[in-house]
Every structure is written in structure tokens, then in C-alpha cells.
Structure 1
Amino acid sequence: MSQSEAHDVKELNLAIDLCLRIGEMLLGNGAGAADVTSTMRAAAQHLGLRNTDIDVTFTQISMSHQYDPAEPTLVMIRAVPNRGYNYEDLTQVDHLVRDLTAGRIDLYTARTRMATIVSTPPRYPRWVVTVSTGLMSAAVGLALGGGPYVVVIAFLAACSIDRVMLWMHRRRLPMFYQQVAGGFVASVFAVGASLTDLDVDLSVVITANIIMLLAGIGFMGALQDAISGFHLTGTARITEAIIATVGIVAGVSGGITFGKALGADWFYYVPGRTGFEEIGVLMLGAGIAAAAFALSAYAPRRSLAPIAVVAAVASGVWRAISEAGADGAWAAAVAAFLVGLVAYEVSRRCGVPPLVIVVPAMVPLLPGLSIYRGLSLLTQGGFMVSQGLLAMVTAASVALALAAGVIFGEFIAQPVQRESRRLESRLAGPRLVGVFRPRTRARRRELAAQED
């Protein structure tokens, strides 16, 4: 191998490594498999890598490229062990990809920026996440019909659960045990409330306490991946969501049993029970909950107010359609379609990917409570099994409606230009993160002339 060929292979390795790092950051921060694949392919094509093979699974990304039929294929794999939400990093990676594909930066500058993004600590201190999580649970408790006591208890419980789970996460305990501990703490707060003279519905108290633990986002994301053609990744996400919810069921059951051992024999609990609030209070609670969730995920501050408005309007539309007699899944689909329709324009004005707007705005609509209710009833056996199956089917239909509504809204909102159809034809579904259009032929000729 000559020196020039070795240099070319080095460039290819650096390019593939950059694409994998981009995909790792997107997948680890909640992006769908279709978005990850399309963004990596757009970056690879700009860097001169044609006909690359990209494989995205739940915990791993691989990319291969055969630069010469007579030489071995270059294959690189990166694992994605940690799953969290850092929308500040997601936004910066999105901007990096846009600058790269537009020709404003080269490979080495992009790698330097990526290293800076990875090594820079979050903008907010960790206690801000704890307070935001408590505020989200309190707002959801308000939207579910809980009174002032429920709101206060939900805030304190959520803050305590977040600290307990953070302590366990730093000791590398699996997520299942963290969910068990969170459910236990939530029920202990409810048991403590039952030992006082507070006039509260203890079932609603527990529901508000565990709202931060529910896996509605994972369940909807799984169905979104399935709709986009990534069935293996979707199945893995569904499994994770169910296991996480089972952990909550076990933790709540253990906390109630512990309370009864302390003398709270009168404790009566209806899994996933909610109250009913007026549409104005519902919209207020949904807006605050969405903005609080976005803040806990380190979303840029400029996006918090728009997220709250979009979530409040979507929740109001959902309630209005439901009260008009429409099926729950159709109401959720219309509300999700509205979110997907406006997210593209809102995100453009805020300078963030649409995913940063969509996910927090969908939090008040997610079917996490139905999943929890269904699994809880299934564990009770007897005639409760049929009700549990009904709740699970309801959760699946609502999650599917939300995913389909968002995707369809994005289809309408994002015009597909003629020069980008070739790239779009390889994918199923629009992108919630990453570039929306690759470079046009005119732009490529302009860059080629500049290089000459």
C-alpha cells in the first residue's frame, strides 16, 4: 500500500468514526433509528463515502464501507450503553451536521467540535433536573385532578425518587431496580399521607408520584421505529418499556405491603386512577409539565415557552375531541398530528431539531398510565385479567395513534424537494433530527469549483 493510499484509508477511518459518533449522540439522546440512519448517511455522502451500510440497533451502531473491491471492507461498531436525554447536545450535533453538509466546516473541524460537545458538561447543575422533575410530576398531578395536597406530595415524591435513582445509577444498578425503588418511594409517600388527616385520594396520589417513571416515551418511540421499518429496534424498545413498568408495579406493591405492615390496613389502591379536571386546568398542567420535562432534559431555554404552548394546545384539542364523543385513539392522533405539523416551524424559529419540540409536547398525551394500569391488573389475576388486557390494548392503540399522527404531521410540514427525493426514498418517514435536504447539484458544483 502506497503512502497516498494509506492516507486515503486514514481519512476514511476518520470519516466513518465521525459518522458513528454522530449516530451515537443522536440515538443516545432519544432519536429514532430512521433519523439516526438518515443523518449518518447524509454526513457520509458529504465526506465522500458512497454506498455505505449502516445498521442501527437498540444498543449498537455499525457502519461499513468498501473503498476498493480488492481490499477488505472497513467496518466500525460503536455501542450506545447510556440512554438519557440531553437536548442541548442533540441540538449542537444537529447544527454540526448542518454545517458539515453545507460545506462550512471540514472533517477535522467537525471532529474537534464533536469532541467539544462530548466533553462539555451540561449547562445546568444537576439539582435543576431534580427540581424540574418534581415540577413535572406536580403539574401532571394538577392536570389529573389532584388538589393542592396531591400537587405538593407529587413534587416532594418526584424529587426524592430522582435523587434515589441518581444514587443507584451512579452505582451502576440496572434500570429495573431503579424503577422498583422509584415505585417503592412513591407508594411510601402515599402511605405517609394516609396516616395523616389529609383529605386526598390515595390512588391519585400514587399515580401522580409515579408519573415521572412511566415508560410512555419508550413505548411510543418503539412504535415509531416499527412504523419507520426498524422492527428489531422497535421490539427492543417495547421490551425495555414493559420491563421498566413491571419494576414500577413491583415497587408500588412492595411499598403498599410495607405500609400495611406498619398499620395502614385501610389502604385501598386503584392502579392508575386519575381524576377529571376542567380543560383550562388541564392545559395549564400540560404546558407546565412539558416545559419542566424539557428543562430536565437540558433543552435550550429559548425552546421552553414554545414547548409549553404547543403542549397546552395539543392537550386542549385532545380533551375537546374526546368530549365530543370521538374514540380516544383518534383524539390522540389528531392532537399528535397538530404537534407534528407545527413542530417543524417552531423548531426552525427556536434553532433546535423538531425532536426537541415533539417529545416534551407529547409527554402529557403519552399512554404510560394505561401501560401501568394494564400490567398492574394482569398481576392480580382472576377477572382483572380481562381489564388488564383491555388497558394494554388501549395503551398500544393510543401510542400507535400518537406515533402515526406525529409522523404524518411531519410529512405534511416538511416539503420534499426534488433534489432530496433520492435520499428520502431510502427511508420510511420524515426526520425529527438531522438535515432535511442534502446539498443540491448546484451547491456541489460550487464547492467543487472552490476546491479547484
Structure 2
Amino acid sequence: MTNEDTYLTLDLGLRVGELLLSSGAGAADVSIQMQNVALACGLRGVSSSVTFTELQLTHQESPDQPTVLQVRNVVQREIDYEDLTLVDQLVRDLVAGRIDRDGARAELARIVSSGHTRSRRAATLGWGVMGVGVGLMLGATPIVVVTAFIGAILIDVSTRALARRRLPVFYQQVAGGLLATVLAVLVSATHLSHEPSRIISAGIILLLAGVSFMGAVQDALTGFPLTSMARLLEATLATAGAIAGVSGGLTLANAVGMEMPRVTPGSSIYSATPLMTVGGAVTAAAFAFASYAPLRSLLPIALVGGLASTTFALGYLGGLGVAWPSALAAVLVGLISYAIAGRVRVPTLAIVVSGVVPLLPGLAIYRGLAILSENSARGLIDLVNAAVIAIALGAGVILGEYIAQPLSREARRFEQRLSGPRLVGPLTARSSRSRRHTGHSSERVSGRR
């Protein structure tokens, strides 16, 4: 392989890794899929390194040759299951030999440059429906549910507007928390509802960093502690921004003389099992819809979310606490998501994350940090509880995937080298002489849209 071939192959691997990481994939999946791309293109001996903001691929032909090193920065931070699905299929086609390197580069360029098949307004509506699902899970009244729907939509619109002006995420979170609190104050002032705590909790759910927190746990479990700590810091900072916004909204209400009931940060009282099931299904499907998951996956995701919420509710009401029901629900999600993902042709990650979204400890993180900000040590209990839930969910999902994925002889050898099963992309790739050259491919994948 010439130097030019080596450079082009490493560049393709980095571009694939960048899109996977920025679309929500874990560090372990990104690392092995970059190596799979290189191996499928005939380049052996490639090592990869993944951090929170940087990807690196290195290759050395022989001990007496200089090392080729390529680095790429990752700046985008938005969960995008449409791009994740397309890149997942691209890697599978490359590994299977259905497309060559040049075809893969062209297809990847189309994925990056094309817009989404779903409009931005539709995604915003999805966040509003997710607020409705959370309200149902928290046993909220119809007024609170409607307010949560409106609040989630307004928060998404405002944070998008601030993001276009390149305002840091922390300030976007502050603005979102402020908006949700002002809306709760207005509803309380009109005496339509006397549950401002639940209005705020349901309204800011999309601001809470439960997904990032669980991602941090999964990266730690799969052997990427530095990336895990970076995700954890990002999650904490984002939640702190939401707390600052809520506090600012309450301060503003007091300044203008508006009286309202005492606000309990992160107020959450679980509904009865039937409402938990419906709320969990709506929340999971709405999250997937807002994250651009393919339409064919929404019904299975709703079923998974409803099943996970039901499992949790039964365990919680049965006196098992919070951690063990969360773990049991996560194991169940991991078990069934692998089979479902293959049938609906989406990465397992999209179903797994969406399925456990109703159980994420975002409200517990918010409650713990908010109480700590009031100089009360009780906040530590909520933070520990949130950490236990996140660990239970992350470990349970991975255990479920371990049990579900059929391990052939080659896969067993592969799993001994890497931590954790794959939630994105194929298990491994074999280099082939027919794919070591970038000549003609027996089959080209079609365009993106």
C-alpha cells in the first residue's frame, strides 16, 4: 500500500470516528470501528486513541519506517441517530466488501453534507411530546402536562437560537432553566396549577444530562476513564447551568412580588404502573424521534421503553428500592435491543439509549446539586443515588448485550481484546486482498436521501 493509500485510509477512519462520536456513540465503539475501517481497506497494524474531543490513528509499516499519525478534533455534541444509522451501515458495507474505500469516502461526504429527512420543527415537537411523557410518569395533572409540552418546545427553540450564536452550552442551559421557571411562575400566578415543582421538573427534562451521565459510566466500564471523566464534567456543568436558570427565575419572581408555593428541586413522584408504562413508551419514542431515529424504529423503541418502565415500576413498588429495578430494566433492554436492532436496521445504541431514557437519573442529579447549592448535605444523598442509578443502568445494559450477542469463535477472541460488546458497527473486520486496493467495487451503496 502506497503512502497516499495509507493517508486516505486513515483519513476515512477518522472521519467515520468523528461522525460516530459526535452522534452519540461510546468511545469503545468509536475506537474499534475506526480500526475496522482501516482493516477493511487492507491496512494492518493500526492503533486508535479516543478522547472526549480528539481522535487519533497511527500506523507503522515496519520498525524501520516512520510512524504515520493523523489526528482529528471533534466539536459537535448532538445526538443524531439518523447519521449514526447511516454511518453504521456504511461501515458494515465496507467490512462486507459491498463498497470500496473511494465509494465509502463519497458516501460519507453525502452523509455529512445532506440535511435530515425530518424537519427541525418536527424534532422540536418531539421534545414537547417527551415533556408530556415525563409528566405522565411523574403523575402530573393535565395542566402540568400541557405546560410541560409548551415549556419543552420553548426551551428547544431558545437553546437552538442561542446555539446558532455560538453561545456556550452552559449559558444555553441557564436560559432554558430560566424559561421553564418563568412559565411555572405564570401558571401558578393564574391559579391554573399549584405544582410549580413538577412543571419545572417536566419542563427542563431535556436540559438534564442523564444521557451524558450514563455515557460516562459506560465509557468507564469499557476502559476509557479519561473520556468518562470528561463526559461527567460536561454533565455536571450542564446541570449546574439549568440550576442557575431555575434559581434566577425564582429570584425574578420574588423581585416582582409574585407569590408561589415552595419549589422542591427535582420533585418526582412516580405514577401508578399503567401510567408509568404509557409515559415510558411516549418518552422513549419521543426522544428517539427528536434525535432523528428512523421512523421504522419508533414503535419498537416505544415498546422497549414501556417494558423498561413497567419493570422498574413493579420492582420499585415491590420494595426493591431504585437501583435494583433500574438494573433489571436495563438488563432487559440490553437483552431485547440487540435482536430488535437487527430487524429494524438501526444501531443497537439507538434502541438501548432511547429505551432507558425514561429511567435516567437527570432529576436526581438536578435535585442533588440544587440542594447542595443551598448548603445542605442532603444533596449528597441524591447525588449518590443518581450515581447508583446511572451505574445500574450502564452496567445492566452492557450485561444484557453480553448475554444477547451470539459469540462465535472469532467474536470470543475479539471480546477478549476489547472491553464490552459493540453497540455500533460490526464486531470486527477481516482484511481481504480484494479490498486492499481501491479499484472497482462489486456494489455501490445508494445515495443518502
Same fold (TM over 0.5): yes
1:286-333 CA-to-partner distances (Å, cap 9, x unmatched) read 111111111111100000000000000110000101111113111100
Distance 1:447 1:372, change over 3 A: closer
1:205-261 CA-to-partner distances (Å, cap 9, x unmatched) read 111111111100000000100011100000000000000000011000000111111
Alpha-carbon distance in 2 for matches of 1:447, 1:30 = 29
1:377 partner amino acid: I
Q: Spell out the pairing of 1:126-205 with structure 2 (5 A cutoff).
A: 126-205=120-199
- Aligned match of 2:32: 38
- Aligned match of 2:390: 399
2:379 to 363, 375, 388: 388
CA contact (8 A) 1:134 1:158 kept: yes
CA contact (8 A) 2:174 2:245 kept: yes
- Aligned match of 1:49: 43
2:384 partner amino acid: V
CA contact (8 A) 1:214 1:245 kept: yes
Q: SS in structure 1 opposite 2:278?
A: helix
CA contact (8 A) 1:66 1:73 kept: yes
CA offset at residue 437 of structure 1? 4.3
- Aligned match of 1:215: 209
- Aligned match of 1:100: 94
Matching of residue 373 in structure 1 with residue 367 in structure 2: yes
CA offset at residue 47 of structure 1? 1.6
Matching of residue 415 in structure 1 with residue 409 in structure 2: no
- Aligned match of 2:105: 111
1:183-209 CA-to-partner distances (Å, cap 9, x unmatched) read 000100010011102133111111111
CA contact (8 A) 2:16 2:34 kept: yes
Q: SS in structure 2 opposite 1:84?
A: coil
Q: Spell out the pairing of 1:302-321 with structure 2 (5 A cutoff).
A: 302-321=296-315
- Aligned match of 1:3: none
CA contact (8 A) 1:149 1:200 kept: no
Matching of residue 257 in structure 1 with residue 251 in structure 2: yes
Q: SS in structure 2 opposite 1:76?
A: strand
Q: SS in structure 1 opposite 2:43?
A: coil
CA offset at residue 356 of structure 1? 1.0
1:22 to 8, 16, 33: 16
CA offset at residue 446 of structure 1? 8.7
CA offset at residue 369 of structure 1? 0.6
- Aligned match of 1:271: 265
Q: What is the aligned length? A: 438
- Aligned match of 2:224: 230
Alpha-carbon distance in 1 for matches of 2:296, 2:222 = 30
Q: SS in structure 2 opposite 1:293?
A: helix
1:328-360 CA-to-partner distances (Å, cap 9, x unmatched) read 111100000000000000000001110110111
CA contact (8 A) 2:194 2:261 kept: no
2:75 partner amino acid: P
Distance 1:45 1:152, change over 3 A: same
1:324 partner amino acid: G
1:100-157 CA-to-partner distances (Å, cap 9, x unmatched) read 1111111111111111111110111111111111110121112111111001101111
Alpha-carbon distance in 2 for matches of 1:122, 1:391 = 38
Q: SS in structure 2 opposite 1:177?
A: helix
2:417 partner amino acid: R
CA offset at residue 9 of structure 1? 0.5
Q: SS in structure 2 opposite 1:31?
A: coil
CA contact (8 A) 2:52 2:231 kept: yes
CA contact (8 A) 1:226 1:234 kept: yes
2:128 partner amino acid: G
Q: SS in structure 2 opposite 1:284?
A: helix
- Aligned match of 1:4: none
Which stretch of structure 1 is more off in the superposition, 211-220 or 318-327? 318-327
Task: With a CA cutoff of 8 Å and minimum separation of 6, indicate the structure with the bigger relative contact order.
Answer: 2
1:5-34 CA-to-partner distances (Å, cap 9, x unmatched) read xx7100010000000011001100111100
- Aligned match of 2:447: none
Q: TM-score, normalised by structure 1?
A: 0.94
Q: SS in structure 1 opposite 2:324?
A: helix
CA contact (8 A) 1:99 1:105 kept: yes
CA offset at residue 88 of structure 1? 1.0
1:358-381 CA-to-partner distances (Å, cap 9, x unmatched) read 111111000011100000000001
CA offset at residue 276 of structure 1? 3.3
- Aligned match of 1:294: 288
Alpha-carbon distance in 1 for matches of 2:435, 2:235 = 46
Alpha-carbon distance in 2 for matches of 1:114, 1:447 = 18
- Aligned match of 1:69: 63
Structure 2: runs of 5+ lacking an equivalent: 442-449
Query: Please, what is the CA RMSD of the aligned residues?
Result: 1.6
Alpha-carbon distance in 1 for matches of 2:435, 2:221 = 37
Q: SS in structure 2 opposite 1:212?
A: helix
1:24-64 CA-to-partner distances (Å, cap 9, x unmatched) read 01100111100111111122112222221211000110111
Q: SS in structure 2 opposite 1:61?
A: strand
Matching of residue 353 in structure 1 with residue 353 in structure 2: no
CA offset at residue 285 of structure 1? 1.0
- Aligned match of 2:331: 337
Q: SS in structure 1 opposite 2:2?
A: helix
1:244 to 238, 244, 251: 238
CA contact (8 A) 1:366 1:399 kept: yes
CA contact (8 A) 1:204 1:274 kept: yes
Which stretch of structure 1 is more off in the superposition, 168-177 or 417-426? 417-426
2:418 to 423, 427, 433: 427
Q: SS in structure 2 opposite 1:54?
A: strand
Alpha-carbon distance in 2 for matches of 1:366, 1:317 = 14
CA contact (8 A) 1:130 1:163 kept: yes
Q: SS in structure 2 opposite 1:58?
A: coil
Alpha-carbon distance in 2 for matches of 1:236, 1:276 = 31
Which stretch of structure 1 is more off in the superposition, 307-316 or 273-282? 273-282
